[in-house]
């Protein structure tokens, strides 16, 4: 049993490391997508509501992935930014100026967190 258990454990560790590296490589694109979505999310209309939805989706996925590949703190920071988008998403509307400012606080924290964690 131990040989098979060891092999399974090694396989899991190897796979986790691969996913972790892929996540790190994807960070620039994830942040770029989030910023593009939130830039479109300001104001009224369907395009703004769609921007909120896309930004929310990016951060939602980020939350789920980050914690599983050893970046629980980054996941919590992303969740804080996600929470700011939640009311607008629920109401299917764009962000108000105050919400954009509010979003920037956890989002800039997240960017600094990424810089600290993986040096980018």
Partner 1 sequence: MPEQETLHRIILIDDEPDILEIASLCLETVGKIRVSARSSARGIVEFIDRIRPDLILLDVMMPEIDGPTALTHMRADPRFDHIPIVFMTARIQPEEVREYIEMGAIGVVGKPFDPMGISDELKRLWSESRASGSVALSAVG
Interface positions with partner 1 (CB under 8 A): 8, 11-12, 15-16, 19, 22-23, 57, 60-61, 63-69, 72, 75, 79, 82
Instruction: Please state the closest distance from residue 95 (CB atom) to partner 1, in A.
Output: 19
DSSP state of 70: T
| Structure tokens given for 37 | 């979505």
Closest to partner 1 by CB, 35 vs 73, is 73
Instruction: Please state the closest distance from residue 107 (CB atom) to partner 1, in A.
Output: 16
Closest to partner 1 by CB, 5 vs 97, is 5
Instruction: Please state the closest distance from residue 10 (CB atom) to partner 1, in A.
Output: 11
Report residue 8 CA to chain centroid gap. Answer: 30
Closest to partner 1 by CB, 25 vs 101, is 25
Which residues lie below 8 Å from residue 69, measured CB to CB, with a gap of 6+?
16, 19, 20, 23
Instruction: Please state the closest distance from residue 82 (CB atom) to partner 1, in A.
Output: 8
CA distances from 111 to 70, 90, 119 (A): 17, 25, 10
Q: Are 27 and 114 in contact (CB under 8 A)?
A: yes
């Amino acid at each position: 049993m131990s040989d098979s258990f060891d092999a399974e454990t090694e396989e899991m560790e190897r796979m986790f490391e691969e996913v972790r590296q892929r996540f790190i490589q994807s960070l620039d694109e994830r942040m770029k997508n989030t910023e593009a979505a939130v830039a479109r999310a300001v104001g009224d209309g369907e395009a703004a509501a769609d921007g909120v939805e896309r930004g929310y989706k990016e951060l939602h996925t980020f939350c789920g992935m980050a914690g599983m590949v050893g970046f629980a703190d980054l996941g919590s920071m992303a969740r804080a930014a996600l929470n700011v988008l939640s009311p607008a998403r629920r109401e299917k509307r764009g962000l108000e100026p105050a919400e954009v400012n509010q979003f920037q606080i956890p989002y800039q924290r997240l960017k600094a967190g990424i810089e600290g964690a993986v040096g980018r």
